Amino acid sequence: MNIAVLAKQVPDLVEGVEIDASGKAVDPTSIRYILSEPDDHALEEALLLKERTQARVEVFSLELGEVRDTLCTALAKGADRVVMVRTGLETPPDSHTTAKLFATVLRGSAFDLILTGVRAIDDLDGSLGGLLAGYLNLPYVGLIRKVELAGDQGKAIVEKEYPGGYAAELEVQLPAVLGIQAAEQPPRYLPVSRLRQVMKAAKVEEETATAEGVEPLAVGRMHKPEEGKGATMLSGSPEEVARQVASLLSERRLLR
Amino acid sequence: MANNVLVLAEHFQGHVTDITFELLGKARELAPALGGSVGVALLGHDVGGLVSELGAAAVVYAADRPELREFTPDAYAAVLGIAVAHASPRVVLLGSTSVGLDLLSLLSARVNLPCIDNCTAIKFQDGGLVATSQIYGGKLFAEVLLTQRTTLIAVAPGMFPAEAGRVSGKPQVVQIPHALVAPEPRTSFRRWIEPPPGDVDITKIPILVAVGRGIQSADNVPRAEALAEVLGGAVCGSRPVIDQAWLPKTRQVGKSGMTVKPKLYLALGVSGAPEHVEGMRGAELIVAINQDPQAPIFSVAHYGVVADLFDILPLLTAEIKTRQG
């Protein structure tokens, strides 16, 4: 059983994102990249499957930001092989381009399962998993919270989330692409000392890929949430604010 | 000439879901301006009874087959692709839902049509169609200019009024040809898994104290619970809090969690990502405390405080206790 995990770098929202001078794109210099959170869950689910079934886990990322750290972390957590894909692109590619790049890398390889986060915060033109499955003509299911492998029967049993706490159990023929919403347990913690230790000897392999024929969406303008639509802001010392909120609730008869 | 609007109908346990009517309402507004009409794709099994609810559409493209009884992305994408080819749509509207999200990307790649995710508005501007999409957890909006090509759009739930699309009638029914569907679906439905029982039902509690990533760790959750207790309410949380197992799944608000409409929603350290807001925008009073003045939660809240929640939380709990005597 071979599992590929696609791990994407996205802007760290804690650091904020700014719009560039054209007004149509994000300013790349304003961004600090981190691993997309659902992709971290995809890696965790892959590692859980490895523990249960002795699957081999390989992690692929496009060259961007501090991706080496991400890949070394994946190795330290238990991945068997990590690959940085060089693209020659100067700006982060859109989802369609990303999917075509990964399709180039993965086409013809012997993966039974390709896991990725169900979505990323910068998905404007759809999400990677479904697009990749479409390009590779593989089945796809997204919003997955649990994967069980019946590898000898060439299938996976998955749980797909629905509103209201419902889930659907589906059977998917392998090979397949799955969009992970949440792993069965929170992504494992890696002590910094362990990461440092691994980084010294870590081998990040490199591959090169190109994508052609993607017509990007025409973004006319980007903007922040409209001002004036927002909340009435309360200010003052913490004591004053606490009193204001309590008064607000009292006026609305929300206090017992 | 592709000038129609095609909506994918979603149904759950025998009922057409709200997102369908939200999309149909928008489609009724767009189609006349494009010089086209509204079509709706209805996929399922024994769903003929739902047609009369879809009167907002002129045409229902129907596929009624046992293997379509429940949603599977593979088969639904194949059939929806055929409906798209028949309906000549300028835009195809899907919900940004468990169903729509899977189909959006899969179909976009399979039939080579552009797609836009997490759309919050669609309007005419300078003679063209513009779709606005919320990205970066709600921190930015991108306005996409549509081309003449058919574009697949996934719309966030709750953005358009459902009433506008809730029209009964007798639309024309066109069967989607079966022969073109892949005979052996590679994905099959096994069973529904019910929500876990035993915990409080947050959809029925009038006062909710919601915690987001800003609560930082499971150890801090009791501080929010103390506030909920003095208010006579319960604690709920956003996706990251549930994923970290700081709160049980039953307490999740938002996409694939609960949709709540309490009298008071007190959001502590909740950024307000679209998938969370979708589950709580209907609350009567929303008060948000967040350190980040740019947090999108302040766009949906009625009152906001930019502060460290840990500075306010104990004082607010104490203040309310005092007032209650």
Query: Do both B143 and B213 map to the same domain?
Result: no
Q: Is the pLDDT of residue B21 over 70?
A: yes
For residue B183, tell me if it sits in a domain.
no
Alpha carbon distance A209, A220 (integer Å): 29
B:19-78 residues touching chain A, CB 8 A cutoff: 70-74
Please choose, from the candidates B57, B58, B56, the residue with its C-alpha nearest in 3D space to the C-alpha of residue B167: B56
What pLDDT does B183 receive? 57
B133 touching A, CB under 8 A?
yes
Asked if the Cβ–Cβ distance from B141 to A222 is below 8 Å, we say yes
Is the Cβ–Cβ distance between B22 and B99 less than 8 Å? no
For residue B186, tell me if it sits in a domain.
no
Work out the pLDDT band at A43, boundaries 50, 70, 90: very high
What pLDDT does A29 receive? 86
Q: Is the pLDDT of residue B44 over 90?
A: yes
Please state, for a pLDDT cut of 90, what percent of chain B lies above it. 89
Asked if the Cβ–Cβ distance from B136 to A121 is below 8 Å, we say yes
Which residue of B lies nearest to A19 if distances are taken between CA atoms?
A: B140
Please state, for a pLDDT cut of 70, what percent of chain B lies above it. 98
Query: Do both B114 and B248 map to the same domain?
Result: no
For residue B181, tell me if it sits in a domain.
no
Q: Is the pLDDT of residue A228 over 80?
A: no
Q: From the list A140, A230, A245, which residue is nearest B299 (CB)?
A: A230
Asked if the Cβ–Cβ distance from A143 to B287 is below 8 Å, we say no
| Average pLDDT rounded to a whole number, residues A21-44 | 94
| Average pLDDT rounded to a whole number, residues A103-131 | 96
Query: Do both B66 and B154 map to the same domain?
Result: yes
Which of the listed residues B127, B157, B175 is the one where a domain comes to its end? B175
- Express each pLDDT in A75-94 by its tens digit: 999 999 999 999 999 889 99
**Mutation target vs A (from B105, B140, B208; most A CBs, 10 A cutoff):** B105
| Average pLDDT rounded to a whole number, residues B162-174 | 95
Query: Do both B206 and B300 map to the same domain?
Result: yes
What pLDDT does A151 receive? 66
Asked if the Cβ–Cβ distance from B101 to A118 is below 8 Å, we say yes
What pLDDT does B164 receive? 96
For residue B264, tell me if it sits in a domain.
yes
Three-state SS string over chain B comes to CCCEEEEECCEECCEECHHHHHHHHHHHHHHHHHCCCEEEEEEECCCHHHHHHHCCCCEEEEEECHHHCCCCHHHHHHHHHHHHHHHCEEEEEEECCHHHHHHHHHHHHHHCCCEEEEEEEEEEECCEEEEEEEEHHHCEEEEEECCCCCEEEEECCCCCCCHHHCCCCCCEEEECCCCCCCCCCCEEEEEEECCCCCCCCHHHCCEEEEECHHHCCHHHHHHHHHHHHHHCCEEEECHHHHHCCCCCHHHEECCCCECCCCCEEEEECCCCCHHHHCCCCCCCEEEEEECCCCCCHHHHCCEEEECCHHHHHHHHHHHHHHHCC
Query: Do both B65 and B161 map to the same domain?
Result: yes
- Express each pLDDT in A204-216 by its tens digit: 999 999 998 899 9
Burial class (CB in 10 A: 0-12, 13-18, 19+), A22: exposed
Is the Cβ–Cβ distance between B224 and B235 less than 8 Å? yes
| Residue A204 Cα, gap to closest chain B Cα (Å) | 29
For residue B56, tell me if it sits in a domain.
yes
Work out the pLDDT band at A194, boundaries 50, 70, 90: confident
Residues of A in contact with B287 (CB under 8 A): 245, 248
- Full strand arrangement of the beta sheet holding B59-64: A218-223, B140-145, B128-135, B115-125, B151-155, B89-95, B4-8, B38-44, B59-64, B172-175
| Residue B11 Cα, gap to closest chain A Cα (Å) | 12
Number of domains in chain B: 2
Q: Is the pLDDT of residue B199 over 60?
A: yes
Q: Residue B66: what are its φ and ψ, rounded to 5°?
A: -55, -40
Query: Do both B126 and B268 map to the same domain?
Result: no
- Express each pLDDT in A128-173 by its tens digit: 999 999 999 999 999 999 999 986 789 999 999 999 889 999 999 9
Q: Is the pLDDT of residue B180 over 70?
A: no
For residue B190, tell me if it sits in a domain.
no
Query: Do both B89 and B214 map to the same domain?
Result: no
| Average pLDDT rounded to a whole number, residues B59-74 | 94
Walk me through the domains of chain A, giving residue ranges and CATH numbers.
Answer: 2-208 (3.40.50.620)
Query: Do both B135 and B10 map to the same domain?
Result: yes
What pLDDT does B325 receive? 78
Q: From the list A130, A217, A224, which residue is nearest B114 (CB)?
A: A217
Which residue of B lies nearest to A189 if distances are taken between CA atoms?
A: B244
Query: Do both B154 and B282 map to the same domain?
Result: no
Please state, for a pLDDT cut of 90, what percent of chain A lies above it. 82
Q: From the list A41, A169, A256, which residue is nearest B190 (CB)?
A: A169
Which residue of B lies nearest to A156 if distances are taken between CA atoms?
A: B187
What pLDDT does B312 receive? 97
What pLDDT does A201 receive? 85
**Mutation target vs B (from A106, A135, A166; most B CBs, 10 A cutoff):** A166
| Residue B172 Cα, gap to closest chain A Cα (Å) | 31
Residues of B in contact with A173 (CB under 8 A): 186-187
B267 touching A, CB under 8 A?
no
Q: From the list B74, B245, B258, which residue is nearest A164 (CB)?
A: B258
What pLDDT does A227 receive? 55
Q: Is the pLDDT of residue B10 over 80?
A: yes
Domain that holds residue B136: 4-175
Which of the listed residues B175, B210, B244 is the one where a domain comes to its end? B175
Here the ipTM equals 0.94
| Residue A182 Cα, gap to closest chain B Cα (Å) | 6
What pLDDT does B87 receive? 93
| Residue A116 Cα, gap to closest chain B Cα (Å) | 13
Q: Is the pLDDT of residue B179 over 70?
A: no
| Average pLDDT rounded to a whole number, residues B243-259 | 93
Asked if the Cβ–Cβ distance from A241 to B186 is below 8 Å, we say no
Q: Is the pLDDT of residue A15 over 90?
A: no
User: CATH code at B171?
Assistant: 3.40.50.620
Which residue type, as a one-letter code, is found at position A150? A
Q: Is the pLDDT of residue A225 over 90?
A: no
- Express each pLDDT in B80-138 by its tens digit: 999 999 998 999 999 999 999 999 999 999 999 999 999 999 999 988 999 999 999 99
For residue B116, tell me if it sits in a domain.
yes
B:296-325 residues touching chain A, CB 8 A cutoff: 296, 298-299, 301-307, 311-312, 315-316, 318-320, 323-324
Q: Is the pLDDT of residue A113 over 90?
A: yes
Work out the pLDDT band at A30, boundaries 50, 70, 90: confident
For residue B194, tell me if it sits in a domain.
no
Query: Do both B113 and B20 map to the same domain?
Result: yes
Residues of B in contact with A168 (CB under 8 A): 70-71, 189-193
What pLDDT does B181 receive? 58
Report the mean per-residue pLDDT for chain B. 94
User: CATH code at B243?
Assistant: 3.40.50.1220
Query: Do both B20 and B150 map to the same domain?
Result: yes
Query: Do both B171 and B207 map to the same domain?
Result: no
